[in-house]
Chains A and B, each alone.
Chain A
Amino acid sequence: MNFNDFLTMRHELMLTLLALVVLIIDLNLHNRHKHYIIPITLGLFFVNLLVGFIPEGSNTLFGGMYRTNPLLIMMKNILNIGVFIILLQSVTWLKKEENREKISEYFILLFSTLIGMNFMISSGDFLMFYLGLELATIPVAALAAYTHHQTKSAEAGIKLILSSALSSGILLFGISMIYGSTGSIYFDTITKVYANTPLQLLAFIFFFSGMSFKISLVPFHLWTADVYEGAPINVTSYLSVISKGAAAFILIIVMFTVFSSLAAVYKNILYLIAVLTMTVGNLFAMRQKNMKRFLAFSSIAQAGFILLGILGGNVMGMTSVIYFVLVYIFSNLGAFGVVSAISTVTGKESMDDYDGLYRTNPKLSLLMMLSLFSLAGIPPVAGFFGKFFLFASAASGGYYWLVFIAVLNATISLYYYLLVVKAMFINKNETPLAFFKSDLATRAGLLIAGLGIFFLGFWAKVYEIISSLSYGIMQ
């Protein structure tokens, strides 16, 4: 393996190294000094984040199993940024007494799943894809059960592992049919021979169902709310942002390459599922009082919007999905960050507890409002641009009614996002949550998210870069 190959695989290798280093440090540290792991890991991960930005061309390794190109690197970097924000936001929570002995576990598990996602994104065949998928899923289940002495957390872990095992099974079944009918597992080969025969169609449906579980599209979404509610808040934000983002990335790659010959068929399916996902997610989100469940359903609805970009089916669609995920990472992490900061300090997670928050914690409330507006797609924050481009790409495919339904859904989502804004700004409360000052890491995490929300939209360069990279891939 030469240096170039290292550069090609640097995201995965660095992370593996990082996980090992954390393990070794953990072994050599006395129990009282465990919390030193946190700054060290954060620093190392930041280095990893920077290394990720070294420009690098396209390359393939292991005979085509592993491939990379600037767009894929971009996706991995986006995920890295999101993970970095989550790590910052989880510092306070990790420092708690009950978590002291498990700090390194948190990091190692988190990095393992990230490695899995990176492999999944870079996969050149279905074998690598499946390996990456499993590596990305199983540690998350362990993470969801991180505070296993709490029944809910344990329940979340078992639910996640069972439902993802089932979905993996279905997915694998689909893959085996693809292999059976085409004789290959390599994306490039399959793309050329894939046709519209019944078996291959069935294979696609199995594959797509499996993926739908991961992105929690309706009707495969039922595990989401319970798992999100039970898991520790930072794991929830990881699940809803990073896992979902990575799955959306890989879905769009596969849809646009391997299954491109099925486009005429899968667009009908996607249309239906997009409408269902947005509507059901939104309608359920309206009734939620627990902030984690609330954000869970809202993130289901957001996944429906992602499908609009896939339906667009062109460079614009690909660009808008990636851009949307980038914006979504910042917006959702802003919202989750605030919920996490409040829940870590006060233990309160219900929407009613947010009544009158603006009087005591104006900065948190403002950031929460910005994030929610961004999720709802209100200008001038970034979410507006993300949504607008998604709608534009769907409209470019001629799906005007779908765009209309989607924007109506965005309006519905605005209703429940405004409920939170109303709680914070308008509702009167005799005993609002007391003022508290978050520690440096939390504030840094929130600040990054806030800056992203505010400036990403105006900064057209980001969109242009993604667009030009996607253009290179689609040709």
Chain B
Amino acid sequence: MLTVGAIMLTKDLKQARLASAIGMGIQLIMAAVLIYLYLAERSAGNTAAMLFTYDVVWFPTLNIHYSLGVDGISVAMIGLTGVVVFAGVFASWQMEYLPREFFISLIILATGVYGFFISLDLFTMFLFYEVAVIPMYILIGIWGSGPKEYSAMKLTLMLMAGSALLLVGLLGIYFFSNPDTNHLTFSIMEISKVNIPIGMQRFLFPFTFIGFGILGALFPFHTWSPDGHASAPTAVSMLHAGVLMKLGGYGAFRVAIFLMPEAAHEQAWIFLILTSISVVYGAFSAIVQTDLKYINAYSSVSHCGLVLFAVLMMNQTAMNGAIIQMISHGLMTALFFALIGMIYGRTHTRIIGEMGGLMKVIPFLGVVYVIAGLASLGLPGFSGFVAEMTIFIGSYQHTDVFHRVITIVAASSIVITAVYILRVVGILLLGPIKDHHFLELTDAKWYERISTISLVLAITAIGMAPLWLSNMINFSLAPIVERLSSIQITSLF
């Protein structure tokens, strides 16, 4: 339903950006309407796990369906995508080189993302996942900067290797989706009702989880992410860090953990260690970077690591925090990359050492940058705080030593985050102006303001009133958590 609208857009030839802006505006409104409808339906007492489902049989012999539907989590993710894509189109308003192709690729990418979030069938989900990955190559390769060809190739190949793992996992799930009869299925909801044999789970879980984890920048498979983000054009960095990396987190819990809970419990400790390494290592790496985009890219590694970390905690509070963190980080990082793109467009450098005192010449962008920074380090009142708070409270609910220690380790990233954010803000915005050319810089244009303000609004809205969001998520998390807790826990710790 949402995707069709996006595909229709690619037919437009002239005035590509206007068409994209309108199209993405409509998408945003549709996402908002979807959230509203969803809430209305829920408050009307509809308790089905998935709403607005749409299902057609695609390949009958293999029982592949084209099956769409939303629950509270995917609705939230679609809302996020809507905002980020909308802002991304405005952030790339002055695309000069091959604009039509740029927007078409961007929209194909967005289509893949939307499709992924609303798929209820593993086959369609995988299909949309790959649809979302491939345009990245072209987007970074053609419109990127720096070592773009290297980064684009690295990103594509690593994500495709991830999908190799994923495909094995998904096929395994499929062939064990109904061990008693021959009626195999790709449907997530149907598979969640059966128990895949534990031996297969042990084998398939790492495939699936790492497959999604690569996209979610799981250490040590995160190396594509900094290069990719740094070389990508602004809108693509926004969309990529903001939304695409969330596919990993979303898939990890919707497929890997939800469908294979026993193995998830057993192997969680390995991945918890890996994710806490991502969290802390990402944050430390961000400290030493001098390129603005690299700082943000590593900060994304850290924050996305936190998402996977929270998902692996496997209790209601932490998972709820994970979803909020996905949304919050998606918005923040998109805002960051938009700002970096705008600053770079003016100063033509991204090295923080060469800049300074920008607050005096471009106050609007400066203020927004400070807001983004504060939100990112988890200041109350912004979405980052809500997310991290929930995650760490949830993680601390585990009473054993292992979980507590690892929670404390991960929580230390908050401090490190503060270090690199404040350092950048200090050098970049305050202090003396280092280059007299900077005095002639102009502040944000109208389209840049639209782009940033829409993101700032979303961040503050979640920060000020998180309850409706977390209620919406909680409702849909409940069956997942129930399934997780109902099984026999044979964890090592």
Name A's B-contacting residues (CB within 8 A).
Answer: 316, 319, 373, 378-380, 384, 388-389, 391-392, 395-396, 400, 403-404, 407-408, 410-411, 414-415, 418, 421-422, 425-426, 460, 463-464, 467-468
Of A316, A410, A418, A467, most buried by chain B (CB within 10 Å of CB) is: A418
Please tell me if the beta carbons of A373 and B172 are within 8 angstroms of each other in the complex.
no
B36 on the A face (CB < 8 A):
no
Of B58, B148, B160, most buried by chain A (CB within 10 Å of CB) is: B160
Please tell me if the beta carbons of B127 and A384 are within 8 angstroms of each other in the complex.
yes
Q: Which residues of B contact A426 (CB under 8 A)?
A: 141-142, 148-149
Q: Which residues of B contact A384 (CB under 8 A)?
A: 127, 130
Residues of B193-232 whose CB lies within 8 A of A: 203, 207
Known: A426-B149, A464-B60. A395 touches B127 (CB 8 A): no
Please tell me if the beta carbons of B134 and A464 are within 8 angstroms of each other in the complex.
no
Q: Which residues of B contact A418 (CB under 8 A)?
A: 137, 153, 156
Residue from A373, A378, A415 in contact with B157 in the complex, judged by beta carbons closer than 8 Å: A415
Q: Which residues of B contact A410 (CB under 8 A)?
A: 160, 164
Please tell me if the beta carbons of B60 and A391 are within 8 angstroms of each other in the complex.
no
Q: What CA separation (Å) do A421 and B138 show in the bound complex?
A: 9
Chain A residue, CB-CB nearest to B168 = A404
Chain A residue, CB-CB nearest to B137 = A418
Please tell me if the beta carbons of B171 and A391 are within 8 angstroms of each other in the complex.
yes
8 closest cross-chain pairs (CB), A and B:
A407-B164, A395-B171, A411-B160, A426-B141, A379-B127, A467-B61, A460-B59, A404-B168
Chain B contact residues, majority secondary structure: helix
Q: What CA separation (Å) do A403 and B211 show in the bound complex?
A: 14
Residues of B156-172 whose CB lies within 8 A of A: 156-157, 160-161, 163-165, 167-168, 171-172
Residue from A319, A373, A392, A411 in contact with B164 in the complex, judged by beta carbons closer than 8 Å: A411
Closest Cβ of chain A: how far from B23's Cβ, in Å?
19
B444 on the A face (CB < 8 A):
no
Closest Cβ of chain A: how far from B358's Cβ, in Å?
32
Please tell me if the beta carbons of A414 and B156 are within 8 angstroms of each other in the complex.
yes
Known: A410-B164, A411-B164, A426-B149. A403 touches B58 (CB 8 A): no
Please tell me if the beta carbons of B138 and A407 are within 8 angstroms of each other in the complex.
no
Please tell me if the beta carbons of B174 and A404 are within 8 angstroms of each other in the complex.
no
Q: Which residues of B contact A467 (CB under 8 A)?
A: 61
Q: Which residues of B contact A404 (CB under 8 A)?
A: 164-165, 168, 207
Known: A407-B163, A418-B153, A422-B149. A395 touches B138 (CB 8 A): no
B34 on the A face (CB < 8 A):
no
Please tell me if the beta carbons of B171 and A425 are within 8 angstroms of each other in the complex.
no
Residue from B142, B168, B175 in contact with A425 in the complex, judged by beta carbons closer than 8 Å: B142
Q: List 19 A-B contacts (CB under 8 A).
A: A379-B128, A379-B130, A384-B130, A389-B62, A392-B171, A395-B172, A400-B171, A404-B165, A404-B168, A408-B161, A411-B160, A411-B161, A414-B160, A415-B153, A418-B137, A422-B149, A425-B141, A425-B142, A464-B59
Residue from A407, A415, A463 in contact with B168 in the complex, judged by beta carbons closer than 8 Å: A407
Please tell me if the beta carbons of A403 and B59 are within 8 angstroms of each other in the complex.
no
Closest Cβ of chain B: how far from A309's Cβ, in Å?
14
Chain A residue, CB-CB nearest to B130 = A379
Known: A414-B156, A426-B142. A463 touches B172 (CB 8 A): no
Interchain Cβ contacts within 8 Å, total number: 83
Q: Which residues of A contact B171 (CB under 8 A)?
A: 391-392, 395, 400, 403
Q: What CA separation (Å) do A316 and B153 show in the bound complex?
A: 34
Chain A contact residues, majority secondary structure: helix
Chain A residue, CB-CB nearest to B163 = A407
B131 on the A face (CB < 8 A):
yes
Q: Which residues of A contact B130 (CB under 8 A)?
A: 378-379, 384
Closest Cβ of chain A: how far from B155's Cβ, in Å?
11
Q: What CA separation (Å) do A191 and B175 show in the bound complex?
A: 30
Q: Which residues of B contact A421 (CB under 8 A)?
A: 137-138
Chain A residue, CB-CB nearest to B143 = A426
Closest Cβ of chain A: how far from B158's Cβ, in Å?
9
Known: A395-B175, A407-B163. A400 touches B203 (CB 8 A): yes
Please tell me if the beta carbons of B174 and A392 are within 8 angstroms of each other in the complex.
yes
Q: Which residues of B contact A400 (CB under 8 A)?
A: 168, 171-172, 203
Chain A residue, CB-CB nearest to B62 = A392
Known: A380-B131, A425-B142. A408 touches B156 (CB 8 A): no
Q: Which residues of B contact A391 (CB under 8 A)?
A: 167, 171
Please tell me if the beta carbons of A411 and B157 are within 8 angstroms of each other in the complex.
yes
Q: Which residues of B contact A392 (CB under 8 A)?
A: 62, 171, 174
Chain A residue, CB-CB nearest to B131 = A379
Q: What CA separation (Å) do A187 and B141 show in the bound complex?
A: 54
Q: What CA separation (Å) do A182 and B298 show in the bound complex?
A: 68
Q: What CA separation (Å) do A403 and B141 show in the bound complex?
A: 29
Chain A residue, CB-CB nearest to B123 = A388
Residue from A319, A378, A395, A408 in contact with B134 in the complex, judged by beta carbons closer than 8 Å: A378
Q: Which residues of A contact B60 (CB under 8 A)?
A: 460, 464
Known: A392-B174, A411-B161, A425-B142. A463 touches B61 (CB 8 A): yes
Residues of B118-134 whose CB lies within 8 A of A: 123, 127-128, 130-131, 134
Q: What CA separation (Å) do A384 and B344 show in the bound complex?
A: 39
**Seed contacts A392-B171, A410-B164; 14 additional CB < 8 Å A-B pairs:** A388-B167, A389-B62, A395-B168, A400-B172, A403-B167, A407-B164, A407-B168, A411-B163, A418-B153, A425-B138, A426-B149, A463-B59, A464-B60, A467-B61
Q: Which residues of B contact A373 (CB under 8 A)?
A: 134
Per-position contact with A for B43-79: 1 when CB-CB < 8 Å, else 0?
A: 0000000000000001111101000000000000000
Residue from A316, A408, A422 in contact with B141 in the complex, judged by beta carbons closer than 8 Å: A422
Q: What CA separation (Å) do A373 and B137 show in the bound complex?
A: 12
Closest Cβ of chain B: how far from A67's Cβ, in Å?
25
Q: What CA separation (Å) do A408 and B164 show in the bound complex?
A: 6
Closest Cβ of chain B: how far from A180's Cβ, in Å?
41
Closest Cβ of chain B: how far from A473's Cβ, in Å?
15
Q: Which residues of B contact A316 (CB under 8 A)?
A: 61-62
Q: Which residues of B contact A379 (CB under 8 A)?
A: 127-128, 130-131
Q: What CA separation (Å) do A414 and B171 show in the bound complex?
A: 21
Chain A residue, CB-CB nearest to B166 = A407
Chain A residue, CB-CB nearest to B144 = A426
Q: What CA separation (Å) do A394 and B168 show in the bound complex?
A: 10
Q: What CA separation (Å) do A217 and B325 show in the bound complex?
A: 50
Q: Which residues of A contact B64 (CB under 8 A)?
A: 460
Q: What CA separation (Å) do A391 and B165 show in the bound complex?
A: 12
Q: What CA separation (Å) do A337 and B172 show in the bound complex?
A: 37
Residues of B10-64 whose CB lies within 8 A of A: 58-62, 64
Closest Cβ of chain A: how far from B236's Cβ, in Å?
14
Q: Which residues of B contact A378 (CB under 8 A)?
A: 130, 134
Residue from B61, B127, B167 in contact with A464 in the complex, judged by beta carbons closer than 8 Å: B61
Chain B residue, CB-CB nearest to A408 = B164
Q: What CA separation (Å) do A333 and B189 show in the bound complex?
A: 40
Chain B residue, CB-CB nearest to A402 = B168
Chain A residue, CB-CB nearest to B165 = A404
Q: What CA separation (Å) do A421 and B105 show in the bound complex?
A: 14
Chain B residue, CB-CB nearest to A377 = B130
Q: Which residues of A contact B160 (CB under 8 A)?
A: 410-411, 414
Please tell me if the beta carbons of A396 and B175 are within 8 angstroms of each other in the complex.
yes
Q: Which residues of B contact A407 (CB under 8 A)?
A: 163-164, 167-168
Q: What CA separation (Å) do A384 and B172 show in the bound complex?
A: 18
Q: Which residues of B contact A460 (CB under 8 A)?
A: 58-60, 64
Closest Cβ of chain A: how far from B42's Cβ, in Å?
33
Q: Which residues of B contact A408 (CB under 8 A)?
A: 161, 164
Q: Which residues of A contact B137 (CB under 8 A)?
A: 418, 421
Q: What CA separation (Å) do A468 and B171 show in the bound complex?
A: 22
Closest Cβ of chain A: how far from B418's Cβ, in Å?
39
Chain A residue, CB-CB nearest to B160 = A411
Q: What CA separation (Å) do A403 and B148 show in the bound complex?
A: 31
Q: What CA separation (Å) do A378 and B136 show in the bound complex?
A: 13
Q: Which residues of A contact B134 (CB under 8 A)?
A: 373, 378
Closest Cβ of chain B: how far from A311's Cβ, in Å?
14
Q: What CA separation (Å) do A408 and B127 show in the bound complex?
A: 17
Q: Which residues of A contact B153 (CB under 8 A)?
A: 415, 418, 422
